[in-house]
Amino acid sequence: MIRGILMNALTPSLTSFSYQRQRLGKQGTDAPQVLHDIIGVYSWHPSAPLSLLARVKNFKVEDFYKLDSEKQAYRVPAMRLSNYMLHSDSAFKIMSAVVPLPDDMIWVKRYTNAARIIPAELYPDWKSKILKLTDSPLESSDIKKVVNIPDISLKPTLNRMAFEGQLLRFGSKNLRSNIISYVSTKSFTGDNYKTIEPDKALSWLAGEYLRAFGPIRIKDFQWWAGITVRRAKAAIAQFDTIDIGDGLLLLKNDIKEFEKVKPLTNDKIDIIPQWDSYTMGYAPDGRGRFVSPEIQHHVYGDIGATGGNGLGLILLNGYAAGVWEPKFTGETLKIKLNMFEKPNKKITEKMNEGFNEVGWFLGAKKVVV
């Protein structure tokens, strides 16, 4: 078994329980339900579709496209102000919890920065014109043809409108492309974005995080949500939890299930993408349930202020066994692989099956590992 040093005696149970709660091993049968179960996935391609491919049995490309086209999910700014694909029932509630309100001074500071400046006197007019234009999804290049916005201000303007809930992102019809479109929230959803009182929304989100990622520390929730320690403590305190050790909190109603969980066996292989919601779900020093500390730098690189940039992972029985990076050359998907230990023949065959499935899903005619 490849896993390195155990965090402590709790690690096997943490690994199995979190694996189940994150619906890995294709435990799901319905993509919208899986989005609800795991809270959401990063919006970028191919991270979003591949995160769901790892969790949904018999997942098809058209199932992914339906998330956008049938309004089963919305792409919105969320945790740590990153763009997520979230279940449509919870997207705006999550935004209310973790994205500062439109009148917060953070936006004035952010958008007077020289790298993303939006002239205050021009922004209202630009916003009004863009909203009239985006009854249906439009790429930024098409918006630029109609609204006279300097290149330096176009993307910041669209981003700010998304942070304010005025615009939604709409995914590309190419799973390898991040050329997204923008659509008016009101036009697409039939209503304006309505905020919920932030602390009330955050309390709800804390319960969802405990359910989907637990057992967790307050520090993990604070890092994942991108909020202050004070807000994190107050939100978690609303729930009846049990400290199972090392400050790890579990919902009291989940303790029986946690105690019954068994370690993963049978050389179970999961291939999850860069920026997967699971690998980016815990503070840097709280990831021991799936990657041992001495090899974490291979997965996240320089931790820095952002907490690392999680690469694609090969999980073996729930533990990090290697990292992978995809690169397309024409219609050939080339996999750059870095295994932490040399895998045996059986594990290699299972990995190759997984990479072939990834290639098929992304439209490759050939996969080279």
Domain boundary among 168, 189, 210: 189
On whether both 42 and 153 belong to a single domain, the answer is yes
pLDDT at 307: 63
Single residue among 218, 243, 260 that ends a domain in this structure: 260
pLDDT of residue 112: 87
What's the confidence (pLDDT) of residue 304? 57
Cβ neighbours of residue 357 closer than 8 Å, sequence gap 6 or more: 53, 271
Q: Is the pLDDT of residue 6 over 70?
A: no
Do 255 and 271 have their domain in common? no
Per-residue confidence band for 131, with pLDDT thresholds at 50, 70 and 90: very high
**Whole-angstrom Cα distance, residue 8 to residue 288?**
9
Residue 4: pLDDT above 60?
A: no
Task: Confirm whether 22 is domain-assigned.
Answer: no
In the chain, the number of structural domains is: 3
Q: Of 225, 241, 260, at which residue does a domain stop?
A: 260
Domain that holds residue 229: 198-260
State whether 232 and 120 are in the same domain.
no
User: To the nearest whole percent, how much of the chain has pLDDT over 70?
Assistant: 96
Looking up tokens 């615009």, which residue turns up?
167
* Cα(306)–Cα(283) distance, integer angstroms: 10
Can you tell me the distance from the alpha carbon of 294 to that of 247, in angstroms, rounded to the nearest whole number?
22
**Tokens in use for 244?**
């199972």
Asked if the structure places residue 9 within a domain, the reply is no
The token duo for 358 is 């990834």
Question: pLDDT tens digit string along 199-250?
Answer: 999 999 999 999 999 999 999 999 999 999 999 999 999 999 999 999 999 9
Angstrom distance (rounded) from CA 326 to CA 312: 9
236 and 276 within one domain: no
The pLDDT tens digits of the residues spanning 264-277 come to 999 999 999 999 99
Helix/strand number for the chain, H first, E second: 16, 13
State the average pLDDT over residues 170-188. Answer: 95
Alpha helices in the chain (DSSP H): 11-21, 31-38, 47-53, 61-69, 91-98, 105-110, 123-133, 140-146, 151-163, 185-189, 198-213, 218-225, 229-236, 255-260, 296-300, 345-361
48: left (phi over 0), alpha (psi -120 to 50) or beta: alpha
